[in-house]
Structure 1
Amino acid sequence: MSLKSPRRRRTVGVVGSLAAAALLLSACSSSPESGEAGESTITVFNGSTGTITENFNPFSSTALQPTNGVVFESLYWYNAAQDEDPVPVLATAFEWNEEGTELTITTREGVTWSDGEDFTAEDVAFTFNLVAETPELNTTGLSAVAEATDENTVVLTFEEQSFMQEPSVLGNRGIVPEHIWKDVADPITEVNSSPVGTGPYTVESFSPQSYLLTKNENYWEEGKPAIDQVRYISLENADSASAALLAGDIDWMSSFLPGLEQLLADNEQLSYVNTPALTTSIFTCSNPELGCEGPQTDAAVRQALYYGIDREQLNNLAGGGFASPASPTMILPERDARWIGDSANSEVPSGAEVDQAEQILEDAGWTEGSDGIREKDGERLSLTIQTVSGWSDYISLNDAMTQQLAEIGVELNPVQLSWNEWNNNQTLGQFQLSLDSIGLQPSNNPYFTYNRWYASTQTVPVGESASAGNAARYSNPIVDEAVLTAGATSDEAVQAEQYAIIQGEIVRDMPYIPIYVNSMLTEFSTENAVGWPSNDDPYALAAAWKSWDNGVILKTITPAE
């Protein structure tokens, strides 16, 4: 979704007949063959439905998902599943100068491209200069020039203090071979059908229904990958993927499956991991000075909504019991607790705190009307909340919250819209309340959440497109100053002080009202491969649609015995 964090919607149900899966998979009969007998192969469904469009251009926003992380690699890898330091990939060290305007990177020795050519610092410098010189490729706002000062050293020089560009530079840029890409006529439209990368796999064959990757025999990490081939397939819909998983035709997918625990109990070869990372929230158009209209522009109303919902009930009804507690700071309580300044703000209330919600509204002048709905200055406390038609978990949330909030005198009016209309309303600020999620930023540092969703620089008046992220139209000079200060240093102690300031403001103002950290369920079959991430060892974000992490998983798993 443009503007939104990636989300995979829960399915309505598992297809009743496994024969349906076989029928749907037979539509892939023109897909690439799986290779020689005896070779280990796994099949991945990463959400592709319908016709697959060939595109292995690592600079393209529409590149096929395994392009980055599986075929092309970054300098470092940032694990969104755990709080840990970035992991070296094509680089082994980096260092900023004191001013934050110069980043020196040491590249890994002994790496070759999949065509056998040597990888050097020149390839890294070429990649970043190509991005800097081609505005259409510069989706991260890179403002640097790169120079290879020797065979294994690259220096990036920035126009201004740029500490917070680090994750995008190091962890979100696939490095390309200069000897190939210097002759590409148009790097913007290039499909790159025979990609040459440093990743663990190369592209063997492609069809509109599936494509086959085979292990890179020149891969630099000894003994990896162990799986010979990886086949990515497209299906008619997510329901058919669930049936195909149960039939043993898919080894890796991400989907909510009703009755998951029982399904696993009945299928010993299946396992799953839950890596919650997206905070499901009520987005509010909060700022009347930028054109927002409605009762939700009153911070007291937003506070009352926060206390008036019963999250435990919502999890059981809509989250399948797999959601985990959110934090009003919008920091993940389990993964990133060290960044929460006040322990009182670690987690949201699990149940409804009706008395507190009612007292907040009373103190703000919202009194109970004859029909039980509160009112103030002739305005009823009636709010419209939008979600996308077909997002069954969010529709369930709205239905339940309608009943819950009626107990504190709030009338909630859910509406279901097409994705385009929902997205357009939210981006333009033409909504009162909207269900969406926040999460999966370039790194786990809270700066990226606070800058994107809360900084005044990231928003615009209602009617203009807030594509930068701050859909709530939130504007707070204290928050803005703290975001700037945190972004101007690499000192985590200073950053933590600034984040505590931000948290004090946003917990009070509540422009985004957290519900829970939504489940992120991924299912695996151990029939063909073992060593998948687990709930005890989430060594990577396991979602089958997650770029970068896919490469880590595919070079970690091994054939089943």
Structure 2
Amino acid sequence: MTDKITNWTGADDAMVENAIRRGASRRELLKMLLAGGAAVAAGSLVLGRATQAVAAEPVSGGTFKAAGWSSSTADTLDPAKASLSTDYVRCCSLYNRLTFLDKDGVTQMELAESFDSKDAKIWTVKLRKGVTFHDGKALTADDVVFSLKRHLDPAVGSKVAKIAAQMTGFKAVDKSTVEITLADPNADLPTILALHHFMIVQDGTTDFSKGNGTGAFVLQTFEPGVRSVVTKNKNYWKSGKPYLDSFEFIAISDDSARVNALLSGDINFAASINPRAMKLIGGQQGFELSKTTSGNYTDLNIRLDMDPGSKADFVAGMKYLVNREQIVKSALRGLGEIGNDQPVSPANIFHNADVKPKAFDPDKAKFHFQKSGLLGQSIPVIASDAATSSIDMATIIQAAGADIGMKLDVQRVPADGYWDNYWLKAPIHFGNINPRPTPDILFSLLYASNAPWNESQYKSEKFDKMLIEARGSLDQAKRKEIYGQMQAMVSEEAGTIIPAYISNVDALSSKVKGLEANPLGGMMGYAMAEYLWLEA
């Protein structure tokens, strides 16, 4: 008996695939294969191949239910104010950007057809034609001008106001052409506008409760801090998309509860689960884990503008007290790379590998704690499930401190309200930073003296000047040199301790198809709903 098929062609493969789509039973399919000259063993091979081929093709229909880990009553549908992953996911389903980053980190056009500039200071943006908002109004240059210009209005409270400040002029040249003028040259502008906050909204919008965008889905329900439901935009400008009929997104802050909701069938997708919760998935049929390695990290922030962080020796002691290898091995279960206390990850072309992380050295840590006068005193450290793996990290650091007489009082606070009440506020606390595509964005958001998310209140005039210099240079080698120096400064001088760059892990039903990695983070850079489909 042979396992080869005689006289079998690609057309025959197509015939089997079509039969599968029509719902033919396995017995009927094998009968068809045998009639075509296949032996039983070979028939099974062809059937398996055909089944995989059908599964790989997008299927329209179905409701996709997903759960994220962060939520707040301040959840918003205004892209300018988005700050949590829940905001990004919802906004990505309702709106589009001028550009986006593909799975390789390359900037691609979305609502823009082209970005052109001779000097990286004055940019001409050509818009796609035939794009409409959910209410039927056509997209025009006025919408783009309004969307970008509002980031400069203090009353809006844009999370990227500092980044947007470099855009000093906006002009609607005609209905499909926009001219953007920068204060200084910036070759990264097309990439910067791929940030989720720069999604395009309709000219004059002040009420964002309807989520009226040009995106793949139309809003049906939105309960801040609870859930949202969106349905397929039948007039979407991207042909054939989306595949899903509807998408429901909720937040379940506890990792184990999120996974249990997946296993029970309440949801199809559990975002960003920690290594402990991963064990619940292990060996379970019908479920998968999706790993994305990007620039995501959880950091321990010591504010330099208040005690105990105002004492430089205390900060130095904490950096020596962090056992990075143990954190990657135990807290992250190996799903991460050692961090060196600066935000530009090894995945970024500007990463400076010469900036070495502080080695775990309890003796040096004790020396600095003694010098600071704080050895033996109880120091509060705020941790929460809201910041991925921060509780496990805090426990490891606490144990290391106890061994040398440094009392770290780890205070575990609820995930609900963490970002509003503790992040950026507590003297020592954890943060969780999503990936950003360029060093300019990372430094502008997190380390410039006027950065909106300056977690340790790091201030340096020299750093600020270097940031402007690197931004304006069109010499890639020079930019790399400057960014490398800035990484060294942050690693040594700032109060942010970045033990590791975390590999994000999402858990999902095997019926969910189309998921790919994205450099902007898990859930396909938060834009997954547009690209996924459910296996029939």
Give TM class, smaller chain. Answer: 0.7 to 0.9
Contact conserved, 2:324 with 2:360, CA < 8 A, in 1?
no
Residue 338 of structure 2 is aligned to residue 325 of structure 1: yes
Corresponding residue number in structure 2 for 1:448: 441
**What secondary structure sits across from 2:286 in the alignment?**
coil
Find the partner of 1:90 among 111, 118, 121. Answer: 111
1:207 CA displacement: 7.3
Letter matched to residue 444 of structure 1: P
Contact conserved, 2:366 with 2:375, CA < 8 A, in 1?
no
1:215 CA displacement: 1.9
Contact conserved, 1:439 with 1:449, CA < 8 A, in 2?
no
Within-5 A mapping of 1:292-311: 292-294=306-308, 297-298=311-312, 302-311=315-324
Distance 1:543 1:137 in 2: 26
Letter matched to residue 156 of structure 2: E
Corresponding residue number in structure 1 for 2:490: 506
Find the partner of 1:437 among 393, 407, 431. Answer: 431
1:411 CA displacement: 0.9
Distance 1:339 1:278 in 2: 16
Deviations 1:470-505 (A, max 9, x none): 343433443233223123334432221111222333
**What secondary structure sits across from 1:416 in the alignment?**
strand
Distance 1:54 1:410 in 2: 42
Contact conserved, 2:456 with 2:496, CA < 8 A, in 1?
yes
- CA 1:215–1:493: 2 relative to 1, 3 Å: same
Letter matched to residue 348 of structure 1: P
Deviations 1:270-312 (A, max 9, x none): 33324453333332334xxxx544487235x544543443323
Residue 398 of structure 2 is aligned to residue 402 of structure 1: yes
Corresponding residue number in structure 2 for 1:344: 354
Distance 1:132 1:305 in 2: 38
Within-5 A mapping of 1:243-254: 243-254=260-271
Distance 1:560 1:499 in 2: 45
Contact conserved, 1:401 with 1:412, CA < 8 A, in 2?
no
Corresponding residue number in structure 2 for 1:229: 246
* Root mean square deviation of aligned Cα: 3.9
- CA 1:383–1:484: 2 relative to 1, 3 Å: farther
**What secondary structure sits across from 2:229 in the alignment?**
strand
1:244 CA displacement: 2.0
Distance 1:377 1:220 in 2: 61
Distance 2:140 2:422 in 1: 47
Distance 1:207 1:452 in 2: 28
1:99 CA displacement: 6.6
Contact conserved, 1:132 with 1:145, CA < 8 A, in 2?
no
Alignment TM-score, normalising by the size of structure 2: 0.73
Corresponding residue number in structure 1 for 2:97: 74
Within-5 A mapping of 1:191-340: 191-193=208-210, 195-204=211-220, 210-233=227-250, 239-254=256-271, 255-256=273-274, 258=276, 260-261=278-279, 263-275=281-293, 277-286=295-304, 292-294=306-308, 297-298=311-312, 302-333=315-346, 335-336=347-348, 338-340=349-351
Find the partner of 2:198 among 151, 168, 173. Answer: 173
**Which structure has the bigger radius of gyration?**
2
Distance 1:542 1:227 in 2: 22
1:221 CA displacement: 2.0
1:531 CA displacement: 1.6
Deviations 1:227-269 (A, max 9, x none): 2222334669665432220022211221336352562422233
1:74 CA displacement: 0.9
Deviations 1:427-452 (A, max 9, x none): 45x63xx24236336x4211233344
1:148 CA displacement: 2.0
Find the partner of 2:381 among 356, 372, 386. Answer: 386
Residue 68 of structure 2 is aligned to residue 46 of structure 1: yes
Distance 1:72 1:315 in 2: 36
Find the partner of 1:358 among 341, 360, 363. Answer: 363
Query: Percent identity among equivalent residues?
Result: 18
Distance 1:196 1:202 in 2: 7
- CA 1:226–1:241: 2 relative to 1, 3 Å: same
Distance 1:211 1:455 in 2: 35
1:130 CA displacement: 5.2
**What secondary structure sits across from 2:144 in the alignment?**
helix
Contact conserved, 1:147 with 1:155, CA < 8 A, in 2?
yes
Contact conserved, 1:277 with 1:520, CA < 8 A, in 2?
no
Distance 2:424 2:221 in 1: 39
Deviates more, 1:509-518 or 1:492-501: 509-518
Contact conserved, 2:381 with 2:411, CA < 8 A, in 1?
yes
Aligned length, in residue pairs: 465
Corresponding residue number in structure 1 for 2:178: 154
Distance 1:236 1:310 in 2: 27
- CA 1:229–1:161: 2 relative to 1, 3 Å: same
Letter matched to residue 154 of structure 1: V
Contact conserved, 1:58 with 1:67, CA < 8 A, in 2?
no
Corresponding residue number in structure 1 for 2:526: 550
1:57 CA displacement: 4.6
Q: Could you say which structure has the greater relative contact order, defined with CA pairs below 8 angstroms and 6 or more residues apart? A: 1
1:149 CA displacement: 1.4
Distance 2:159 2:373 in 1: 47
Contact conserved, 2:255 with 2:277, CA < 8 A, in 1?
no
Deviations 1:127-159 (A, max 9, x none): 334555673264433453422213331112345
- CA 1:382–1:502: 2 relative to 1, 3 Å: farther
Deviates more, 1:232-241 or 1:512-521: 232-241
Letter matched to residue 363 of structure 2: E
Deviates more, 1:203-212 or 1:485-494: 203-212
- CA 1:241–1:285: 2 relative to 1, 3 Å: closer
Distance 2:479 2:262 in 1: 44
Deviations 1:499-554 (A, max 9, x none): 12223333433532221223432111122x31212xxxx1465645x8xx333x22
**What secondary structure sits across from 2:489 in the alignment?**
helix
Corresponding residue number in structure 2 for 1:14: none
Unpaired runs of at least 5, structure 2: 1-59
**What secondary structure sits across from 1:44 in the alignment?**
strand
Letter matched to residue 330 of structure 1: P
Alignment TM-score, normalising by the size of structure 1: 0.70
Residue 126 of structure 2 is aligned to residue 106 of structure 1: yes
Unpaired runs of at least 5, structure 1: 1-37, 367-373, 459-467
- CA 1:122–1:232: 2 relative to 1, 3 Å: same
- CA 1:248–1:320: 2 relative to 1, 3 Å: same
Distance 1:483 1:166 in 2: 18
Deviations 1:360-395 (A, max 9, x none): 876xxx6xxxxxxx6349764757241136669433
